[in-house]
Amino acid sequence: MSYRSLLVIIIFAALIPLFAAEYGRLSAYFLDLKGPTILPHEGYPRGIGLAPVTIKLDISDSAAGLHEISVWTRQGHETKDFLQKKFPISHLIEKLSLDFNGPTSKLKEGEVEVIVRAIDASWWRNAAELIIPLVVDFSKPKIEIITKVPSPIKENEAELVFYRASDNKLALSGIKIENTFSPGVPARHIDSDLNDDSFFVCLFSVPAGSRQHSTRLIGEDLVGNSMSEALNFNIERKISNRTERKISKELLAEHFKKVIDVNSLRIDKVKQRLKAKTESFSSDVETNLNLEKFKILNEALRVAMNEEFLAQINNGARIDRCWNDVFLKPSHEIKSGFGDEVTYTFEGKAVSGYRQFGYEFAASLESRSVLAANDGFIILNGDFGPYGKVLAIDHGLGIVSMYGNLESTNALRGEKVHKGQEIALAGSSGLLPPNSYYFEMRLNGDPIDAEEWWNPSKYDSKIKRPIDDLKRSLGIQILKPLERKF
């Protein structure tokens, strides 16, 4: 083979990749019949309001590449150019951010369509278009307290407040205390006579340890505009500063019978919360193992079960008020109460403990009936670790009563029950002694002291009187409800 022939072969071999690349480009240029792809990067904003918002889009064309992107807005018959970008050949992807800076965006209140059009670099100039409909609202909601906020307010006790909120696009309103939020609902849900659409009611409680003056009434509309008003009151420390009422319980054989098989439960999260700590209570290895398992059951699993309990009672909670009068106090003996520090001991040493946010009642063999505290619907029926077999009633407006350590239940999930109806039998399915049961009340998922709901004078001052006072101020007749005897 001559030198000239070899040179031709080498040059031809070197040009093959170039020809292949050019063929691929020309193929994409002429044969690409598919338009670009336009996808949201993080979803769309709720709307365009006073605060700046950004629409993030991923626009791509993996064949011929992008040639041009145009964005404009349309309100009615009026269109405005927003953005236009042209690209060099083989620009395959563009991460686009469209910023709308509140009123300076020069949009009118109402509805707007943000239209994004992308054209590829092929011979055919294939196009894709995305239309994003949004609401434009530059007005803050108007909210105003219309009933007096009491002061002081005790920790973990319910309070009722009426307020007026005027915004036809109101998305949520209620009372925020640090990281907890109690939603407000139209006032007709607590009393059908209060049917003015601008009247709202909120039942809330102050969690233990909350900071002074950290409470605000807030309102937020569909696009995220918000307004708030401070609620000024003093907090009476009911639990966080208390050191008395410590309850000690010696671990007995029946507690070890309830020791869980740690490996059979999905408690990786629980194990992480439990400190890696082994204490020598006895030379018996099996006893030490049981004590460690009991500690997991009482402490970390109690936290996990509480989270599961909250998830279930908050799912589909009713906003209509199911009850009309004071709640029924159980007739059995109270063994421990709200806020008590309960400690389990073994051989004279503390093993495990917890803060109790309900009441322990001791039933008897002659009277083991557990009665519904008030009208409502069964929202939960199942086993919850240290609480044992549990039944919960949704009374509406965020109020839930919980009954634990039960032997059996007489009501199914979703069933309507009435005040004083037998719903279960006291038992020993949890960590309480035999023939006893646990009772707890919650408001919007936070524990509250049930004593104020049992006490007729407290119930009248906190619930009935604010409703009646508002109705009097509006000239609405107050009818006395029919009384029922239990």
| 72-86, 149-163, 460-474: least confidently modelled range | 149-163
Tell me how long the chain is. Answer: 486
Say if CB 436 and CB 360 are below 8 A apart.
yes
What residue type is 413 in one-letter code? R
| Whether CATH 2.60.40.10 fits 142-236 | yes
Closest CA to 145 of 230, 47, 257, 250: 230
Say if CB 295 and CB 281 are below 8 A apart.
no
- Say what the pLDDT of residue 430 is: 85
DSSP letter string, 47-67? -B-SS-EEEEEEEE-SSS-EE
Which numeric CATH code is attached to 37-136?
2.60.40.10
Residue 80 DSSP SS3: strand
- Say what the pLDDT of residue 153 is: 86
> How many Å apart are CA 202 and CA 398, to the nearest integer?
10
Q: Average the pLDDT over 93-109 and give the result.
A: 94
246-454 folds as: Glucose Permease (Domain IIA) (2.70.70)
pLDDT tens string 376-434: 999 999 888 788 899 999 999 999 999 999 999 999 999 999 999 999 999 988 888 88
**Does the global pTM surpass 0.75?**
yes
Say if CB 240 and CB 155 are below 8 A apart.
yes
CA count, 13 A, side-chain hemisphere, 5: 2
- Say what the pLDDT of residue 4 is: 55
Residues 6+ apart with CB under 8 A from 141: 165, 166, 167, 170, 173, 219, 220, 221, 225, 226, 227
> How many Å apart are CA 345 and CA 324, to the nearest integer?
43
Domain with CATH 2.70.70.10 in the chain: 246-454
> How many Å apart are CA 306 and CA 328, to the nearest integer?
24
Q: Average the pLDDT over 146-152 and give the result.
A: 85
Domain with CATH 2.60.40.10 in the chain: 37-136, 142-236
279/361: higher pLDDT: 361
pLDDT tens string 278-304: 444 444 555 666 777 777 777 777 777
- Say what the pLDDT of residue 307 is: 78
**Helices within 368-438 (DSSP H only):** none
Residue 320 scores a pLDDT above 60: yes
Distances (CA, A) of 177 to 45, 149, 299, 419, 445: 26, 14, 26, 32, 14
DSSP letter string, 162-182? EEEEE-TTEEEEEEEETTEEE
Say if CB 400 and CB 447 are below 8 A apart.
no
